Amino acid sequence: MTSLFATASSATFPVLPALLVVPSAGALFILFLPRARKDLIKLTALIFSTTTGALSLWLLSEFDSDSQSGMFQFVSRQSWISDFGISWSFGVDGISLFLIILTGLLFPIAFFAVDPEHNERSYFAWMLLLEAGVMGVFCALDLILFFLCFEVVLVPMYFLISRWGHGNRAYAATKFFLFTMAGSALMLVGIITVAFLHAKNLGSPVTFDLIQIAESQTIAQGTARWLFLTFALAFAVKIPIFPLHTWLPDAHTEAPTAGSVILAGVLLKLGTYGLLRFGLYLFPEASHFFAPVFLTLGVVGIIYGAVVAAMQKDLKRLVAYSSIAHLGFIVLGTFALNTEALQGSVLQMVNHGISTGALFLLVGMIYERRHTRQIDELGGLQHSAPLMAAFFTVVMLSSIGLPGLNGFVGEFLILLGTFTAHRWWAVIATIGVVLAALYLLWAYQRVFHGPAEKENAEVADLKTKETLVLLPLLALIVFLGIYPKPVLNRMENSVKALVVHIEEHVSEFEEPVNRYSQGEINSKESEKGHD
């Protein structure tokens, strides 16, 4: 059998390693700059981060969307620890492409939008190191390399929360670190076990190559199910999935604005991406076996996140709980195990990063002006800040999933695919859509409508710099809502290849098909005619 995830020919320019090297070099370079030159430090960070973003856009321009196989592209391999089969192995496909682009977009925006209150040199160095780690997670095709990048992001985020956060930041940072580290430690055991069992069963040298291990499927069914759980737990904590979510509201609430943007925009996607790339691909049978469990947890997260969000008095904490609900949709679509739902999940990862990132930026702008995030202490801001109210309206409606904006497309595909495969889970999940409208509209009404009293009447509107920061995100919200085809086309073949991979290795599984799609009906009838 020819591997559907075989690698395409290597790129002449090692663009994927560059996505790690450029921000890492930037972090090192900044440490040698004079501490007093704050403007120079920020400019340097912006240059390195923008260069990384430009490289991610180059990937988009050169990506072969016509490839029918869903192969990895821009492949780069270099032996690292040859005795254990560990290598610097990178590749990108339609699933990881737009997560890389999202990372390349959000980091420069966060750098430009937010200035740290102190110690600029360390702040920007940690941020650049964080960017390198995130890029590594989305590009890695070696299990050890993936794990190292997955763990590297913990350290910068810990220091960003604990040193530049608010209120009880030390508690929030420690809780974030301990939760994610505990999950990751178990995954490391799983990675080592997978590699050695693969080598033992094939009688071959040890390798940590993702494609080789996933395509061979040599591990016994029962063992594979246990190993899947070691990976899934780490990813569940990172997402986070209910009931492992308790670190997220604290981390978001106490993190600096830029930290919240990056945490919501890209760091939470490490978990959802991990389930897709390493859960479903490495353990197709186990993913199918445990699908009902994760479908249930996804639906519970949707409802729970929405209900608790509606009870929040802190605006930032409300947005944090809304992330739990939105990520529940992504988990739901992932374990529906069909093309529509998986496409919706990948697209919703990107949509959530854009919309929630913009929401955290706006909440940060409100806090800078009023020095409070308590909803009861705000009100009537549209009178003094109409432009801010307009931006907040569009972003809020995108999070609700209003047709014509980006959030609708992802949620629709997830619900469509899930309804095809698991009807009642989809029906229950739609309640979350209604609840999202309730708590977000309620928050918007309390913050921006009504009479503007005392300090609220004197809140300044968006500055030119703030408008420029928000405009790219607003443009993407509208563009992806109206014309998502370019994104869906580039991820479609990789998603289909993943579904076919599951079908080939799970005897009792056949992709759930939307029987109301004439194209699918004709395709199935044609296949039966050839049998």
Alpha carbon distance 28, 524 (integer Å): 56
The SS3 assignment for 95 reads coil
pLDDT in tens, 284-319: 999 999 999 999 999 999 999 999 988 888 888 899
Alpha carbon distance 72, 91 (integer Å): 5
Q: What percent of the chain has pLDDT over 90?
A: 50
Alpha carbon distance 250, 268 (integer Å): 14
Nearest to 326 by CA among 339, 498, 347: 347
pLDDT in tens, 137-156: 999 999 999 999 999 999 99
**What's the per-residue H, E or C state across 146-204?**
HHHHHHHCHHHHHHHHHHHCCCCHHHHHHHHHHHHHHHHHHHHHHHHHHHHHHHHHHCC
- pLDDT of 526 strictly over 50: no
pLDDT (average), residues 346-368: 92
pLDDT band at residue 528 using 50, 70 and 90 as cut-offs: very low
**What is the pLDDT, as a whole number, of residue 404?**
92
**What is the pLDDT, as a whole number, of residue 520?**
46
Alpha carbon distance 186, 227 (integer Å): 10
CA atoms in the 13 A half-sphere facing the CB of 231 = 32
**What is the pLDDT, as a whole number, of residue 292?**
93
pLDDT (average), residues 323-343: 92
Through-space distance between the first and last CA atoms of the chain, rounded to whole angstroms: 19
Domain boundaries, the chain: 288-509
- pLDDT of 170 strictly over 90: no
Contact 137, 270 (CB under 8 A): yes
**What is the pLDDT, as a whole number, of residue 251?**
86
Contact 357, 328 (CB under 8 A): no
H or E, element range at 220: none
**Which residues touch 452 (CB under 8 Å, ≥6 apart)?**
379, 380, 381, 383, 384, 459
The SS3 assignment for 217 reads coil
pLDDT (average), residues 122-148: 94
**Which residues touch 177 (CB under 8 Å, ≥6 apart)?**
154, 158
> How confident is the prediction for the chain on average, in pLDDT?
87
**What is the pLDDT, as a whole number, of residue 192?**
93
Q: What percent of the chain has pLDDT over 70?
A: 94
Alpha carbon distance 378, 453 (integer Å): 9
Alpha carbon distance 34, 300 (integer Å): 50
The SS3 assignment for 367 reads helix
pLDDT in tens, 202-245: 888 888 999 999 988 888 999 999 999 999 999 999 888 888 88
Nearest to 366 by CA among 388, 396, 386, 387: 388
**What is the pLDDT, as a whole number, of residue 102?**
95
pLDDT in tens, 182-201: 888 889 999 999 999 998 98
**What is the pLDDT, as a whole number, of residue 529?**
44
pLDDT in tens, 468-511: 999 999 999 999 999 999 999 999 999 999 999 998 888 887 77
The two tokens of residue 371 are 């020095």
The SS3 assignment for 523 reads helix
Q: Is 190 left (phi over 0), alpha (psi -120 to 50) or beta?
A: alpha
- pLDDT of 452 strictly over 80: no
H or E, element range at 92: strand 86-92
Alpha carbon distance 186, 348 (integer Å): 28
Contact 30, 124 (CB under 8 A): yes
Alpha carbon distance 284, 301 (integer Å): 23
Contact 92, 139 (CB under 8 A): yes
**What is the pLDDT, as a whole number, of residue 384?**
87
Of 44-53, 124-133, 345-354, 427-436, the range with the lowest mean pLDDT is 427-436
Alpha carbon distance 207, 198 (integer Å): 8
The two tokens of residue 530 are 């050839």
- pLDDT of 79 strictly over 90: no
Taking the whole predicted model, whether its pTM rises above 0.85 is answered as yes
pLDDT (average), residues 237-257: 86
**What is the pLDDT, as a whole number, of residue 395?**
93
- Taken in order 165, 170, 172, 176, the sign of the CA dihedral is positive
H or E, element range at 74: strand 73-81
**Exposed, middle or buried by CB within 10 Å (0-12, 13-18, 19+), for 531?**
exposed
pLDDT band at residue 12 using 50, 70 and 90 as cut-offs: low
Alpha carbon distance 211, 383 (integer Å): 57
Residue 350 phi, psi (nearest 5): -65, -45
